[in-house]
């Protein structure tokens, strides 16, 4: 059985790209429990690397968990956890820090970019959080990790740390493999189709939130960038905006798009297809939100389910490093 870890950041509203690229694969994996064991992890500890509002972080973490459930993640088949509620994540984090060089963490691209912008206000956790990410992965003996371009360097660090640790201290960790989303699952920014849809971009004009109301979805798609060619065709190099709209339609309607006489006709069909996918998620989210205690209980049960394996990984690591039982 393949063990797979999929992470979600509670730093903003989940969007259509998250649904297509990360959440749907989780749901599909549930249909083959004999081959894939999945964990959906909300990385709330990662949010502590920068200035944040504690109440907002708690609310965001609960919201992400609720959206995952609303989108079809079944907690009976997929453990849904927050990494802050599994103490083994932070214990393994320190143990891995003790086997990682400063230079390895300092040359991570995100640290360079954010530390340059933050200057004296940079937190130490921003430097070490790629090692925490490695701990998130390794503590569960994860064999596969879905990863995008922005996190590929961090996954490589996890692979480097685990392989080196095994060579130096004995076979301790599973060395994880990265899984790239299918090309059809890569939903790009509607305002700038040269970059993927992301909740970290300053403007919301290019993304479709999973909880956006119909009028916002309609307006966002109506304003999506196209071009002046005037012909609807799948041409990533020449017509990236149109190609992206076709990818959205393909992902939401689950079929190959037909022919269109205008960009307006394409956008109207994309709007209908997106709304058909998101309306049930919004409705289910509204139901689940009425009982946040139930969602909290699901997180607690998920953490309890994964902790025995996590504890065994930490035990192996402590023994390998020479710590007393």
Looking at the annotation, which residues are catalytic?
114, 196, 199
Count CB-CB contacts under 10 A for residue 142: 24
Dist CA 160 CA 258 (whole Å): 46
For residue 190, the 8-state DSSP code is S
> Which 3 state secondary structure label does DSSP give 4?
strand
Count CB-CB contacts under 10 A for residue 177: 14
- End-to-end Cα distance, the chain: 30
Residue 48 to residues 26, 124, 304, Cα–Cα distance (Å): 26, 10, 23
Burial 220-259 (b: 16+ CB within 10 A, else e): bbeebbbeeeeebeeeeeebbbbbbbbbbbbbbbeeebee
Q: 4 with 36: CB under 8 angstroms? A: yes
């Amino acid at each position: 059985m393949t063990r797979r870890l999929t992470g979600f950041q509670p730093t903003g509203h989940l969007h259509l790209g998250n649904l297509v690229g990360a959440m749907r694969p989780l749901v599909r994996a549930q249909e083959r429990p004999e081959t894939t064991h999945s964990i959906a992890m909300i990385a709330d500890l990662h949010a502590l690397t920068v200035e944040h509002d504690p109440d907002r972080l708690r609310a965001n973490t609960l919201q992400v968990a609720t959206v995952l459930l609303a989108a079809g993640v079944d907690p009976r088949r997929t453990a849904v956890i927050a990494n802050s509620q599994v103490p083994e994540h932070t214990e393994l984090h320190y143990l891995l820090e003790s086997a990682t060089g400063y230079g390895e963490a300092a040359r991570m691209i995100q640290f360079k970019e954010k530390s340059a912008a933050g200057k004296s206000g940079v937190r130490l956790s921003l430097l070490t959080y790629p090692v925490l990410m490695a701990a998130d992965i390794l503590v569960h003996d994860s064999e596969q990790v879905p990863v995008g371009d922005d996190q590929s360097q961090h996954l490589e660090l996890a692979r480097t740390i685990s392989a080196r640790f095994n060579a130096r201290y004995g076979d301790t960790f599973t060395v994880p493999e990265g899984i790239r989303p299918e090309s059809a699952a890569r939903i790009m920014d509607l305002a700038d189709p040269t970059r993927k849809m992301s909740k970290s971009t300053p403007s919301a004009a290019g993304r479709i939130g999973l909880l956006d109301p119909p009028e916002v979805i309609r307006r966002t798609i109506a304003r999506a960038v196209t071009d002046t060619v005037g012909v609807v065709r799948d041409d990533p190099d020449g017509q990236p905006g149109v190609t992206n709209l076709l990818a959205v339609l393909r992902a939401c309607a689950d079929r190959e798009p037909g022919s269109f006489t205008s960009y307006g006709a394409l956008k109207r069909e994309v709007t209908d297809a997106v709304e058909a996918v998101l309306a049930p998620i919004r409705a289910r989210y509204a139901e689940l939100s009425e009982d946040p205690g139930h969602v909290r209980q699901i997180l607690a049960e998920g953490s309890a389910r994964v902790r025995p394996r996590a504890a065994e990984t930490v035990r192996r690591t402590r023994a390998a490093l020479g710590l007393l039982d």
